[in-house]
Amino acid sequence: MPQEDLDAIVAEVARDMRAHLGEGKVADYIPALARVDPRQFGIAVVTCDGRVAVAGDGDTPFSIQSVSKVFTLVLAINRLDEALWKRVGREPSGSRFNSIVQLEQELGIPRNPFINAGALVVTDAVLAGGAPSEAIADIAGFLRRLAMDEAVSIDPEVAASEEATGYRNASLGYFLRAFDNLHSPVPDVLEVYFNQCALRMTCRQLARAGLFLAQDGLDPLNHMQVTSPERTRRINAIMMTCGHYDASGEFAYRVGLPGKSGVGGGILAIAPRRAAIAVWSPGLCEAGNSLVGQLALQRFVALTGWSVF
Amino acid sequence: MPQEDLDAIVAEVARDMRAHLGEGKVADYIPALARVDPRQFGIAVVTCDGRVAVAGDGDTPFSIQSVSKVFTLVLAINRLDEALWKRVGREPSGSRFNSIVQLEQELGIPRNPFINAGALVVTDAVLAGGAPSEAIADIAGFLRRLAMDEAVSIDPEVAASEEATGYRNASLGYFLRAFDNLHSPVPDVLEVYFNQCALRMTCRQLARAGLFLAQDGLDPLNHMQVTSPERTRRINAIMMTCGHYDASGEFAYRVGLPGKSGVGGGILAIAPRRAAIAVWSPGLCEAGNSLVGQLALQRFVALTGWSVF
Amino acid sequence: MPQEDLDAIVAEVARDMRAHLGEGKVADYIPALARVDPRQFGIAVVTCDGRVAVAGDGDTPFSIQSVSKVFTLVLAINRLDEALWKRVGREPSGSRFNSIVQLEQELGIPRNPFINAGALVVTDAVLAGGAPSEAIADIAGFLRRLAMDEAVSIDPEVAASEEATGYRNASLGYFLRAFDNLHSPVPDVLEVYFNQCALRMTCRQLARAGLFLAQDGLDPLNHMQVTSPERTRRINAIMMTCGHYDASGEFAYRVGLPGKSGVGGGILAIAPRRAAIAVWSPGLCEAGNSLVGQLALQRFVALTGWSVF
Amino acid sequence: MPQEDLDAIVAEVARDMRAHLGEGKVADYIPALARVDPRQFGIAVVTCDGRVAVAGDGDTPFSIQSVSKVFTLVLAINRLDEALWKRVGREPSGSRFNSIVQLEQELGIPRNPFINAGALVVTDAVLAGGAPSEAIADIAGFLRRLAMDEAVSIDPEVAASEEATGYRNASLGYFLRAFDNLHSPVPDVLEVYFNQCALRMTCRQLARAGLFLAQDGLDPLNHMQVTSPERTRRINAIMMTCGHYDASGEFAYRVGLPGKSGVGGGILAIAPRRAAIAVWSPGLCEAGNSLVGQLALQRFVALTGWSVF
């Protein structure tokens, strides 16, 4: 797609979203998220052939939260390969409610890496018994390299708030530990986890960082083979079936692309062999995904015809 | 893809599967399924531009079982449109176990149309208060038209066996009825359901019948608009996230196409804007999907590069 | 206790209940129950030494509903002895919600004979493959003999209404059948079950019928050994731990006697080695037990000091 | 009952148990419990009129574990009165499995004070925001006063082991905290909890300490009103319906007395208005209750006729 077409589409999406700004409900379980101005929207597209288009607040950093789970998953797969799947499943989980039953039922093996229990196992795999500070530095460094931008950083206030209110995650952590499915001390795993959730990135950085997922694991811009084609397909499949909490099926229908959302309002979507797209708008739908972000991706896909279905 | 390339690929897949014939466990809850020779494998591909390639036992009829749920879903959506989604969800369900909890939790609204509870609601929507014999005739007629083959039929022995052993489905039916989510008498709904599961089709017929799902709902060969593009995308998304019982995520990874399997050993897979592919081999994996069928699709996608991821 | 003291206590309880008449919510899932005048209260006490005291509407017949489960349990234990406990457990079930999960978990073995699933198994044991009409006659005959009153009868309107709306029970029945834990056809079991629930009895009849449970299984008035001392203790223990739906613990505290309630507003309580007490008032508490009935028993126990704790 | 009869009965029970010594499976999740000699059995009875009978290893101290929950419950009720029941329920829980579902369902309110989640809430109520060391001293002091024996102590090795392996309890603690149903820091609550479980007492001390529960809350020997008659009845009712994990109904039948067991092999049973009985034998049945201890109580009740049913 020529640059000018891409620019035009991205601009059109941003324009169309104006009518929706402020819709949805901003995450309010920690102050740093609660006070974000809901009337913001950003979008960035980075294509496999190197074009970049950004519109709206696409250069404003936000808390990527659960979008980080995609990147720690890459690190964990690269480290453990198939052994990772003995510790975490790859199937959709049904509702949050079920996931607690399931964890007991399936003896501490979370159903997939994107529910919180699964993400803690993934983080534990990245931590690998080392020091939390090193693992945090590794994760942040990985994102900086992928984004080709040293400005990617962790918001210490968010990390601290997450920790102060993260009782459910602590509960999950100890539950997993009871099944020997966390190997590092639970507080260490939680520390890394809360920090990875507190990563601040812009849409531009996020789309750039996710581009390798659109190209069989090879980052076409810096020619780095981030992960293998098989692992890339695995991650995309998990994003498609499990990437949006209890609205993953809805996202698959409306957007038709693998993606991962976070309660900070960001969504990373992958159009295989075409581009990575990042959108951000703080207001969330009931399922916890960016309401305007989903609308934007739906519009973007309608304009480009990039749905995989 | 030229016909000869397609033929070559399909032949190669069939040849590669020979080493696996007989793997897996044939469904044995009814005699008519239990006595099927497990050492069979068929494949058929029908492309959007009208090419057809068949190999192995691709012209042997088999019991399509839950693959039928795709087609009754089309009929139900066409009849009720968005109102259908008030009676059945569109999200993955997690394990079978969870789905029972879920049904109680969510007041009798099954999570998706492909779990049995959801399929019963769909069948009830097709039945629409009419006579079971008419609904059964409608469904069989729909499949015959799509397959362009009058030979598509219902196996009365299978239908009778399903009925005689279908206590769990009866239980689900009355449970849904308690929530007013079946409108026809439960025995009527079950009768239609057991008959639709007893449809006998060949891979060739099945691929032919599913082709419209690869082309925005328009059957490119007989120029019939079977359903709308939006509904087609919806159905494909549900097949991708929920089409293979508790191994839907695994199928998404390994095959990377929307699909639906049945315990008769058949799988229908859709390569959007390319083709419909049907495979069949009776031996099932633990999750209840054709073991060799999955291997074949995985091989087929590797040879064609048609994975959506 | 002298007759006059007993009369005085029963009269006092009846008098004290006047202020509460009409409290609670009458069961309304079938018309025959819904139209019962809520401002009624009856009590009857029959002691092991043959004294009888009745007050209020203690001679008005009402639908005993789940109180019948005590008596079919006696018949089933007498028939199957310990083998019954392979088909149904003897432990409290937690909430109704859990019981559905539990049934799946524990492979179709209901936790106790007083939850509906368990009562269906008990009824199936009584039916024992015979004709529903005979089992119904057996049960009614058993109650007549115990009550020493031929007037005990089954309300055909209630039985028919139960059947017409009993979808959840039908669902449970087929679920149990799927686990081979019902041996007769499900509609037969349901027919007997709905008829036993439709038994009409007065407080006087009910207390008389339950007296053997206060005396090691021996009916002290007609010298019939209804069941063994061990089985009597078993039944009393189940009434104590499971007799009042999800408020069994509350009843154990407030009343301190084994008992069983029904949604018709009746409660049978057993004071071991002392008496059987039956109360009735149609308004139910949230858990489904007679609100005024519980108050009355609480008052009665305070006046007599008969709590076992 | 004359002293000689009591002595004779207790001696007979101890004699009868010899054939069973070593049956069951000693708790092995911590070393200090795992290495206890399973071939031990003790029994002690203290009657309301002051008689004491002890046999077997009735003067050997053992880890009382969950039996401690009865005593912290008394402290918590005395402190919070009815307000306690806003934070913990009073109904049986069904299986352990269900209790996790239930806790989510019922928004962090455990079903009763004897499941672990409920016991943590009770301990938090005793802790009341204070220092763990003080709460531990309070609990130990309470037991010493009740047992009239300064030798009651806490085993530091057991407490430390519980802490080192108590991941599930930590998980429950943080889960409750997420619902604001623990008010002190989770590690503080756990510290107190693990120490109370590590109390070492003999059968003689335990029966002595529980005597007030047989006499409306009044300790008849030292004339201390430990708690009110209403609260006593409440506690007995909870012991009857919830005292023995998932075999509470079985205990109610076989023994017919309110009781509470611990995985150390101890059981405290209350015969209202008659006596407190403590038994101990380390081997556990599948449900986690002392196997020989239950047999002994069953035999004791057969000899005394003290079952409440």
Any D CB within 8 A of A18 CB: no
Are B84 and B141 members of one domain?
A: yes
What pLDDT was estimated at residue C1? 86
Identified catalytic residue from D63, D66, D161, D248? D66
Judge whether D122 lies within some domain. Answer: yes
Are A100 and A177 members of one domain?
A: yes
CATH number, residue B277: 3.40.710.10
Which residues of chain D are within 8 Å of residue A100 when distances are taken between CB atoms? 100-101, 104
What pLDDT was estimated at residue D96? 61
Among B165, B197, B229, the domain-final residue is B197
Which residues of chain C are within 8 Å of residue B100 when distances are taken between CB atoms? 100-101, 104
Cα dihedral sign, B215-B219-B221-B224? negative
Q: Is the pLDDT of residue C216 over 70?
A: yes
Which residues of chain A are within 8 Å of residue D175 when distances are taken between CB atoms? 167-168, 171
Q: Is the pLDDT of residue D97 over 60?
A: no
Identified catalytic residue from A54, A70, A152, A263? A263
| Cβ contacts from A onto D, under 8 A | 46
Are C191 and C213 members of one domain?
A: no
C263 given a catalytic annotation: yes
What's the mean pLDDT when you consider all of chain C? 95
As a whole number of angstroms, the distance between CA B252 and CA C98 comes to 33
Residues 6+ apart with CB under 8 A from B22: B38, B39, B283
Neighbours of chain C (3+ CB pairs under 8 A): B, D
What pLDDT was estimated at residue C125? 98
What pLDDT was estimated at residue C98? 53
What pLDDT was estimated at residue B268? 98
**Average pLDDT for residues D72-99, to the nearest whole number?**
88
What pLDDT was estimated at residue C309? 94
What pLDDT was estimated at residue B106? 81
- CB A43, CB A10: distance < 8 Å: yes
Judge whether C309 lies within some domain. Answer: no
Structure tokens at A149: 């931008």
Judge whether B101 lies within some domain. Answer: yes
Are B71 and B193 members of one domain?
A: yes
C158 given a catalytic annotation: no
What pLDDT was estimated at residue C96? 61
Nearest CA to CA, how far is D154 from chain C (Å)? 30
Q: What are the pLDDT tens digits along chain B (309 aa)?
A: 899 999 999 999 999 999 999 999 999 999 999 999 999 999 999 999 999 999 999 999 999 999 999 999 999 999 999 999 999 999 998 766 556 667 877 889 999 999 999 999 999 999 999 999 999 999 999 999 999 999 999 999 999 999 988 999 999 999 999 999 999 999 999 999 999 999 999 999 999 999 999 999 999 988 999 999 999 999 999 999 999 999 999 999 999 999 999 999 999 999 999 999 999 999 999 999 999 999 999 999 999 999 999
As a whole number of angstroms, the distance between CA D258 and CA C309 comes to 8
What's the mean pLDDT when you consider all of chain D? 95
D290 given a catalytic annotation: no
Element (H, E) at B47: strand B42-47
What pLDDT was estimated at residue D80? 96
Q: What is the length of chain B?
A: 309
What pLDDT was estimated at residue D205? 98
Q: Do A249 and B236 touch (CB under 8 A)?
A: no
Any B CB within 8 A of A272 CB: yes
Are D79 and D133 members of one domain?
A: yes
Name the percent of chain C lying above pLDDT 90: 92
pTM of the full predicted structure?
A: 0.94
Structure tokens at C10: 């029963």
Least Cα distance to D122 among D183, D213, D185, D207 occurs for: D183
Judge whether B309 lies within some domain. Answer: no
B 278-307 residues with CB below 8 A of A?
307
A66 given a catalytic annotation: yes
Judge whether D223 lies within some domain. Answer: yes
Q: Which residue of C has its CA nearest to B29?
A: C178
As a whole number of angstroms, the distance between CA D99 and CA D110 comes to 8
Among D177, D197, D217, the domain-final residue is D197
Are A193 and A204 members of one domain?
A: no
Are C233 and C298 members of one domain?
A: yes
C72 confidence band (pLDDT: 50, 70, 90): very high
Disruptive mutation site among A48, A91, A99 for chain B (greatest number of B CBs within 10 Å): A91
Q: Which residue of C has its CA nearest to B170?
A: C174
Q: Which residue of C has its CA nearest to B102?
A: C101
How confident is the model over D116-156, as pLDDT tens digits?
Answer: 999 999 999 999 999 999 999 999 999 999 999 999 999 99
Q: Do A241 and B258 touch (CB under 8 A)?
A: no
Among D134, D162, D197, the domain-final residue is D197
D 207-236 residues with CB below 8 A of A?
none
Query: How many structural domains does chain D have?
Result: 2
Judge whether D309 lies within some domain. Answer: no
How confident is the model over D152-171, as pLDDT tens digits?
Answer: 999 999 999 999 889 999 99
What pLDDT was estimated at residue A271? 98
Any B CB within 8 A of A240 CB: yes
Are D77 and D162 members of one domain?
A: yes
Least Cα distance to A199 among A121, A256, A237, A147 occurs for: A147
How confident is the model over D38-65, as pLDDT tens digits?
Answer: 999 999 999 999 999 999 999 999 999 9
Are D76 and D181 members of one domain?
A: yes
Q: Is the pLDDT of residue D309 over 90?
A: yes
Residues 6+ apart with CB under 8 A from C32: C63, C155, C157, C158, C161
Sites in chain A below the pLDDT cut of 70? 95-101
Any C CB within 8 A of D240 CB: yes
Judge whether C139 lies within some domain. Answer: yes
Element (H, E) at C98: helix C96-105
What pLDDT was estimated at residue C222? 85
Any A CB within 8 A of B259 CB: no
How confident is the model over C151-203, as pLDDT tens digits?
Answer: 999 999 999 999 988 999 999 999 999 999 999 999 999 999 999 999 999 99
What pLDDT was estimated at residue D95? 64
Name the percent of chain D lying above pLDDT 90: 92
Are B112 and B152 members of one domain?
A: yes
- CB D45, CB D277: distance < 8 Å: yes
Q: Domain limits at A270?
A: 3-64+200-304
What pLDDT was estimated at residue B100? 65
D263 given a catalytic annotation: yes
How confident is the model over A112-142, as pLDDT tens digits?
Answer: 999 999 999 999 999 999 999 999 999 999 9
Strands (E), C104-194: 153-154
Are B231 and B184 members of one domain?
A: no
Q: Do D178 and A172 touch (CB under 8 A)?
A: no
Are D83 and D182 members of one domain?
A: yes
What pLDDT was estimated at residue A64? 98
